[in-house]
Structures are given as structure tokens and as C-alpha cells.
Chains A and B, each alone.
Chain A
Amino acid sequence: MFIEKIAKKSAMKKYYVTVAAIFIAAALIAFGVKNDGNMEVFNKARMICLECIGIG
């Protein structure tokens, strides 16, 4: 009974951490988009990355 109670509490704790992490991740993406993060990624990724291929 006692162990079950602890397991239940621990599962709930993990569940809330998961939910909080999803909200934080979504907020980070939104904040990044507001600061043109998506455009910065796009501008880098659409060009050949000379560093990635060991030339730059």
C-alpha cells in the first residue's frame, strides 16, 4: 500500500515535469520565432555549409 502510494506520487511528479517541459519547449520556439530564429536557421541551412564539409 505504502509502496503503491509512493509509486503513484512519483508517476504524477514525472507527468507534471513532462507537461511543464512541453510548455517550456513551445514557449522557447515562440520566443525564438519572435526573434527571427526561424529565419536565421533558414538562412544558414539553405546555403552549402562549407564548415560542415570541411572546407570553410
Chain B
Amino acid sequence: MATSNKNLQKNNFIRLAFQIFWAAITNGYMKGFSSAHIYGGKLKNICVPGLNCYSCLGAFFACPIGSLQSLISNRAFKASCYVIGFISLFGTIFGRAVCGFLCPFGLVQDLIYKIPFFKKRKNLPLHNVIRFLRYVVLVLFVIVLPITALDEFGFGFTWFCKYICPSGTLFAGIPLLAGNEMLRSSAGVIFSWKMCVLLAVLFFSLWSWRPFCKYVCPLGVIYGAFNKFAIYRFELDNSKCTKCGECQRVCKADIKVWETPNSSECVRCGECVASCPTGALKKNIARRVATP
């Protein structure tokens, strides 16, 4: 048990260090923070794997969900293959490990969850109903509305960014408005709405682990679909597993890991692997043959 706790602490420390490192290098445009302007160089051709607003003052890269909505709302369907290709590539290599390691908004929720304020619970009330919300968000706000709801010039909007994305509000909206008087005077009802969404997500993050990822994030839905055949995956050695349930007990997403080690809900935090008392669970990479 002591070894499991030590493994768990080591695992969590490494993951947190990697999350901070990744968030820092992808949002390291220091000049942006001092001048309240965003980076406009060539790196913005490239999408990052996680939900990282391209209007963040420090962002070097583009957000895949923002870019996808922007292209399809401009009827640039062929060009949108570029973003779909990026998402597919990240998904095939990492699966939802992107959410666990490479998403700055995931990091924010992880940090808030560490605050000892509420009695923590794994899922929010009505979990079995509201967990389908993210599918609705993906289909409606990222695909259908940007294509179908057009302005008088025939262009759509980035609906998810405009009305939902709390990552954009936190990393881009608040810093930009704080540093730019003109933008501040233009902020109105929509910004107030987005602040409410952000505050709600942060509040629920105190209570339950990563509520935005579990119930709202469209990118998590897409990467979740890749989890089963992604290169980075978990493997269970059935001959060692005693079905003691320790993996589910430590899993913050409440996954029955011994039944579905590559569940679409799993963000690959690795706590189940670190705490498995028999070493039946392993982090692995895809191979042509089954591992013994």
C-alpha cells in the first residue's frame, strides 16, 4: 500500500510538472503579456493538441476547435481537412492523453480541484444525463450552427468560441480586456455570459474533477473516440488482475478500468496504473502482437 501511494504521488508530480511545462512553452510569448497584443508569427499555422485559445496573449499556436469552426463557418470545407488531419494525428498518437497532459484548461481544472473546499465527489448530480451534453455541444455548436446559421454575407460564426468556451474567456478574454481600454469598452452581454460560464466551470471544478472535460468539451469527445486504438494506451494483464477495484477507486473519472482500460472517458492520468497492487495495468504503445 505504501508503495502504491508513493507511485501515485510520483505519477501525479510528473504529470503536473509536464502539464505546467507544456502550458508554459506553448504560451510563452512574453511580449504579448507586457503589451496586450497577440503573437502573429508563422507558428500560428500550426494547431496545438489541446483547447488553447489562439487569442491568448502568450499563445504561439492555433486552437484546433477554434480553427475548425472558423474554416467550416467560412465554407472552406476542403481547407478544414488540415485541422481535421491535425486532430486525427494527435488523437491517433496520444488519444485522450492530450486532455491529461497537453491541455492548459485541463491543468486549471486540476489545480482548482486540489483546493480543499468542498467534499469532493467523482461525478456531478445527474451525471448519467448531463454526460451526453458534450456530444450535443460538438454536433450543434462546433459543426451544425457554424455551417447553417449564416449572416447576411453568407458567413457563419464560431458558436462554441462565442458562447461557451471558458478557456477563451480565461486565457484570452480577461487578459485582453484588462490590458486594452478599447476592447474593454466594447465588452457587453456576451462577455458577461461567458464570464458566468467560466465561473460556473471553476465553481464546479472545486467540487468534481474536471467537469468541463467530462460534460462539455467537444475536443475530449473527438480524442475519446481515438482512445481504443491510439498508439499510447493502457493494457491489462488478465492473469495478474484480481478485480480488487482499486483502479476504479482511485480513478477520478470513475472508470471500471479492469473492464475498459481504454475507455473514451480516460484522460490517461495514470493513477490506476500507479496504484494497481498487482501490476496488472501497464502503460503501453501499440504493437502488432498482444503483450504477454
Contacts and interface: CB of A to CB of B under 8 A. Distances in A.
A51 to B, nearest CB: 4
Contact of A31 (B42, B78, B168, B288): B78
B174 to A, nearest CB: 8
Interface string B61-99: 111001100110010101111111110110111000000
Contacts, number: 183
Taking residues whose C-beta sits less than 8 angstroms from the other chain, chain A's interface range is 35 or more
A15 B291 CA distance: 12
Interface string B229-243: 111000000000000
- What's the dominant secondary structure at chain B's contact region? helix
A31 to B, nearest CB: 5
Contact of B289 (A8, A30, A38, A44): A8
Interface stretch (B127-135, B190-198, B200-208, B216-224): B190-198
Contacts of B226: 21
Contacts of B41: 46
A24 B67 contact: no
Contacts of B230: 18
A52 B188 contact: no
Contact of A55 (B67, B70, B188): B188
